[in-house]
Amino acid sequence: MNKSTIIKLAVGTLIVLALIVVYRLGGTLIGAKVEEQVAKIGLTPNQVAANGPLPGDVSLYAQELACQQKIPTPGYYSSLNGAEIADSERSGVFPCATFLGSMDGPNQVYAWHSADDYPGIAYINNRKPGELYIIGGEVPTAADPIPAGPYLAKADATTGRELWRTYFDNANASGWYIGNTNLNILDNGNLALSWSNNALLVDGDTGQILKISALPAGVAPPAASNFKHLTIAPDRTLIYKNQTRPADCKGQGTLGIIKCIQDGMKLPNSVLVAVNPDTLEVLDMLQLPEPAPSPHIVTRLHDQIAIYVGMATSVRRYFWDPAAKKLSADESWQVFPMQKGQSAATAPSVIGDWIVVQLNGAGSKEAASSITAIHRDDAKKMKVIFPFGALKSGGFSFAPPKAGADPENGMVYSADMGMGKVAGIKLDQASGEMKVAFVVDDVTSTFQPLIGPKDKRVLLLTNAKLNVQKEPLMTAIFTNNYKEQLTWRDPATGRILAESDFFEPLTINSLTPPGFGGRVYFPTTTGKGFYVLQVMPKPAAGK
């Protein structure tokens, strides 16, 4: 063996020895650091920043609940969102929810994905702080076009860990048309739900089905009816309405209806049904003159219980008489706000004496979306605004979410996903006159919830970003080929206060409801669960 070989061997041995020493001394350190990095793979920066579940500011829980309990929501559990979208008017205003970020400085968003999967997740509601209810299994995705469901689940509000899950159906076995459903917590803590032609009561503590009863579909074939809409009247009566599917339409999910409508298929007419909230006995049924694919709202008109329904070509008012237990149409209040080429009105919104409706709920290739405000005491008093101007040739207008409204600040919000914009509109509550306050570029299919007290309100808007910028929007939406974020905005100007990372798409036309302690939930069917989001002032450098 020559000298050079001996030296090489000695050096080699030394290196091996050094490596062994390094491993023995730093083994746990290296392993731990590798593990730390591995744990971050696939996470967005918001998730990496959170590094775990987000309880929010727990010191706010009791304060927010107490604040909410001062706001009457008869029939609903008194909590941040015992009702599907805030209250029976589906107002989307959550004055007791908190924005923890800075209104005038930089903010940081933190995110946590639910510990468990919730396929086809649609709505999320809060009961007591810590208690989250989830309805899912009824939004088809490309990966799961006929999900088993619907189901109701209870989850930990911080970790998203499932506590129980109760399935009600499975379209693969039952063959039923499963459309988007609903989620409302009754004042006694149980949940009233419906799907297809069934109404049911579920124990909010255990998930046990307490009662189930059949709902009448009216002129629609039962197989083409889905009682998606449930709103509770001030006397606690459940007011149901069905979405109907064209007779020849085989598509599943509510998106199935939209696709069939866009293919020119005709919908059967809808019905309104009044149901006892304790026995689920059907108290009355009223056949509507048109299909009504979007939700109705319930509010008071002087001393009467009024139900406003947006339909394919009209917006109409109905009454529920709790004494006579009868539903009736108000022939004196019906408007036909659609201009040529426009499609269905979405759920109406109440802003003082005005009923506001968003048009093009099912989309239009001919006319831009508009907002119509109608006086509740005189249907002839009507104001219209096209916040985004006229539709350009080749353009597409699609505005499925109802108009957001902030009566205390005289603001209406309009989102047109097809046109890629959201507008804030100032409404003069005396004259009904509407003026555009701002228009921002924002692509969203969902509601525009408002959180916080009147003078510190924050507007929540999701915003979609196509994976392929040049892909037609509707193709991207139907194939889930995009990502979506949540933005927190100044509701007077639309200015962004905070914006999250882009996650899997939000469930179409769903809500990003607030949670206790300054949190917001972001349900995503494609992502099979939900994100818990929290905004905080951006820490100074060096944190």
Partner 1 sequence: MRKFTIVKLAVAALVILVLVVAYRLFGTVIGAKVGEQVAKVGLTSNEVAAHGPLPGEVSLYAKELACQQQIPTPGYYSSLNGAEIANAQRSGVFPCATFTGSMDGPNHVYAWRSQDDFPGVSYINNRKPGELYIVGGEYPTLDDPNMAGPFVAKADATTGKEIWRTYLDNLNASGHWIGNANLNILDNGNIVVAWSNQIVLVDADTGAILRHNNLPSGAAPTADVNYKHLTIAPDRTLILKDQTRPFGCTLQGTVAIIKCAAEGMKQPNSQLVAVDPGTLEVLHDIELPEPATAPHIITTFEGRIAIYIGMNTRVQRAFWDPATKKLSLDESWIIRPIREGQSTPAAPTVIGDWIAAQLNGIGSDTVASSVVVASQKDPTKQQIIFPFGELKKGEWSFAPPKNGADPENSMIYSADVGMRKVAGIKIDQVTGELKLAFVVDDTSTTFQPLIGPKDKRVLLLTNMKLNVEKEPLKIALFTENYREQLTWRDATTGKILAESDFFEPLSINGLTPPGFGGRVYFPTAVGKGFYVLQVMPKPSAESGK
Compute the distance between CA of residue 533 and CA of residue 499 in angstroms, rounded to an integer. Answer: 10
Using CB under 8 A, which of the segments 1-9, 134-142, 380-388, 532-540 binds partner 1? 532-540
Q: Which is nearer to partner 1, 100 or 199 (CB)?
A: 100
User: Minimum distance from CB of 21 to partner 1 (Å)?
Assistant: 8
Q: Give whichever of 22 and 71 is closer to partner 1, judged by the CB atom.
A: 22
Q: Of the candidates 261, 82, 119, 282, which has an alpha carbon nearest to the alpha carbon of residue 194?
A: 282
Contact between 203 and partner 1 (CB under 8 A)?
A: no
- Report phi then psi at 59, rounded to 5: -70, -15
Residues numbered 24-43 forming contacts with partner 1, rule: CB under 8 A: 24-29, 31-33, 35-36, 39
Tell me the two tokens of residue 251. 């598509």
Pair of tokens at residue 543: 């944190």
- Residues 129 and 516 sit within 8 Å (Cβ to Cβ): yes
Query: Are 502 and 165 spatial neighbours (Cβ–Cβ below 8 Å)?
Result: no
- Closest contact distance (angstroms) between CB of 160 and partner 1 is 11
Binding status of residue 19 toward partner 1 by CB under 8 A? no
Q: Which is nearer to partner 1, 69 or 174 (CB)?
A: 69
Q: Does 156 bind partner 1 (CB under 8 A)?
A: yes
> For residues 500 and 477, what is the distance between their CA atoms, to the nearest angstrom?
20
Which of residues 85 and 460 has its CB atom nearest to partner 1 in the complex? 460
- Using CB under 8 A as the binding rule, whether residue 341 contacts partner 1 is answered as no
Query: Is 54 a residue that touches partner 1 (CB under 8 A)?
Result: yes
**Minimum CB distance to partner 1 smaller for 50 or for 201:** 50
- From the CB of 213, what's the least distance to partner 1, in Å? 30
Q: Starting at the edge strand that comes first in sequence, how are the strands of the sheet with 93-94 ordered?
A: 93-94, 450-451, 458-466, 482-489, 496-499
Part in contact with partner 1 (CB under 8 A); list of ranges 81-89, 127-135, 465-473, 497-505: 127-135
Which residue bears the tokens 């006319």?
A: 367
What is the chain's alpha carbon radius of gyration, rounded to the nearest angstrom?
26
Token pair belonging to 245? 């599917």
By CB under 8 A, name the one of 131, 138, 162, 501 that touches partner 1: 131
Contact flags string 86-115 toward partner 1, x per CB under 8 A: ------------------------x-x---
Give the DSSP letter of residue 175. Answer: -
Nearer to partner 1, 115 or 466 (CB): 115
Q: How far is the CB of 24 from partner 1 (least distance, A)?
A: 5
User: Within its chain, how far is the Cα of 540 from the centroid?
Assistant: 33
159 binds partner 1 (CB under 8 A): yes
* Residues in a beta bridge with 189: none
74 token code pair: 């008869």
Q: How far is CA 308 from CA 76, 168, 171, 316, 476, in A?
A: 19, 29, 31, 6, 33
361 φ, ψ to 5°? Answer: -60, -30
User: Residue 106 carries which side chain, given as an amino acid letter?
Assistant: P
Smallest distance, partner 1 to C-beta of residue 110, A: 4
User: Binding residues for partner 1, how many (CB under 8 A)?
Assistant: 40
- Give which of 515, 430, 447 is closest to 53, Cα–Cα: 515
For partner 1, the binding residue among 8, 161, 326, 435 (CB under 8 A) is 161
CB 504 within 8 Å of CB 118:
no
Of 154 and 421, which has the nearer Cβ to partner 1? 154
* Closest distance of CB 121 from partner 1, Å: 21
Reading the block at residue 369, the tokens are 């979306």
Write out the residues near partner 1 by the rule CB under 8 A: 24-29, 31-33, 35-36, 39, 49-55, 57-59, 61-62, 110, 112, 128-131, 156, 158-159, 161, 163, 534, 536, 539, 542-543
